[in-house]
Amino acid sequence: MILPRVDRTEFKFLIPLTMRDEVIEVVSKHAGYDEEAGGSSQYPIISQYYDNDHRDCYWEKQRGQKSRRKLRIRVYGSSDSDIPPTTFIEVKHKCDGRGVKRRLRLPMEDALELVEGGTAKMLEDGGDLSRYERMVVEEIINLVEQRDFKFLCTMRYDRQAFVGGEDAPDLRITFDTGIACRFEKQELQADDDRFEHYLLNKDQCIMEVKTNSVVPTWLRQLVGEKHLVRQSFSKFCTALERHDPAVREALYGPNSVPFSKDDLPEYHDLPQKELVDKYGSVTRTR
């Protein structure tokens, strides 16, 4: 099954959990829980990312390349929640500041087989795939075979998602907490909690606003009233900058000390702008 194409502009904000509760109180008056997520208030997401030894995905973002792609397998939900485990394989394509996701819903074993070079089952005799689905499969094959994409890291976080009402039906607002990563390849599981590297302090949250049209007035007013500062925060890039030896060596030299959880700031110790400047996704070149 393929989901509709998503073509959106994204805005991100790093906020404390205490502010999140205040923001959600306002958001819930204008938006409802995401029905695609079963109308659930919160659910876990496991994302497994793929890149090559040169870390093309990372450096293309850091260079500001206008057209760039990431490949990942994403698992939503868990067996003991309102959302049963569901697996997607996705190509996230950023082009001129807008995001497009091309993705297929597949059994987990089929998604893993595809990213590991097993393509016969997908394409033999055309299978049950539509022409568009075959194009997505072939795009994934190209990333794996031509660009040598392979497993790089796995990430986990809990998400609370809202969708806009009649005044903004294309609006989506998400709140992500407990963002963690690992670079050891382990069995991919729904709602996996085998992570030791956390990217934010436990009292912080990433708020993300996605829309393919205008931001409604009530949301602009909310951002102004709460003095929210828009920033660039890539979970993927931040994880690599802190914990991937290849990226850390390029940024800090061959003897760089691994990032420690003790280096995470207490949110109340730093003004938001200073926090953004100091701990936002680094944009340095070699």
Measured CA to CA, the distance from residue 152 to residue 51 in angstroms comes to 6
Residues constituting the chain: 286
> What pLDDT was estimated at residue 214?
81
Structure confidence by residue, pLDDT tens digits, 52-109:
999 999 999 999 899 999 999 999 988 777 778 899 999 999 888 777 889 999 999 9
Mean of pLDDT values over 232-244: 94
Query: pLDDT value at position 182?
Result: 97
- HSE-up (13 A, CA, CB side) for residue 10: 22
pLDDT, tens only, 192-204: 999 989 999 989 9
Q: Is the pLDDT of residue 217 over 90?
A: yes
Residue 179 CA to residue 243 CA, distance in Å, equals 14
Between CA 134 and CA 220 the distance in angstroms is: 40
Contact call for residues 156 and 178 (beta carbons, < 8 A): yes
CB contact at 8 A, 14 and 48? no
Q: Which residues pair with 156 in a beta bridge?
A: 46, 180
- Measured CA to CA, the distance from residue 241 to residue 58 in angstroms comes to 9
In a domain, 284, yes or no: no
Residues 6 or more apart in contact with residue 34 via CB below 8 angstroms: 40, 161, 162, 163, 172
pLDDT for the residue 248: 93
What the block records as the tokens of 53 is 């030894």
| pLDDT number for residue 250 | 92
What is the percent of the chain with per-residue pLDDT over 70, rounded to a whole number?
Answer: 80
Q: What is the pLDDT of residue 42?
A: 81
Residue 259 inside a domain? The answer is yes
Instruction: Please check whether residue 286 lies inside any domain of the structure.
Output: no
CATH code at position 107: 3.20.100.30
Alpha-carbon Rg for the chain in angstroms: 19
For residue 269, the one-letter residue type is D
Kindly report, residue by residue over 135-172, the tens digit of the pLDDT.
999 999 999 999 999 999 999 999 999 998 888 888 99
223 occurs within a structural domain: yes
Instruction: Tokens for 94, please give them.
Output: 């950023």
Q: Domain range holding 23?
A: 6-279
Give, as one character, the DSSP assignment of residue 280: S
Q: How far is CA 195 from CA 78, 151, 184, 198, in A?
A: 16, 16, 10, 8
Residue 285 lies in a domain: no
Distances 100 to 4, 191, 278 between C-alpha atoms, Å: 10, 25, 29
277 band by pLDDT with thresholds 50, 70 and 90: very low
Domains: count for the chain:
1
For residue 129, being part of any structural domain is answered with yes
> 90-99, 116-125, 127-136, 275-284: lowest mean pLDDT where?
275-284
Answer yes or no: are the C-beta atoms of 46 and 189 closer than 8 Å: yes
**Digit-coded pLDDT (tens) for 9-50:** 889 999 999 999 999 999 999 998 876 555 556 889 999 999
Residue 1 lies inside a defined structural domain of this protein = no
Q: What is residue 280's predicted lDDT score, i.e. its pLDDT?
A: 41
Does residue 164 lie within any of the structural domains?
yes
Name 47's bridge partners.
Answer: 74, 155
Q: Which residues, other chains included, contact 163 with Cβ-Cβ below 8 Å and sequence gap of 6+?
A: 31, 32, 33, 34, 35, 169, 171, 172, 173
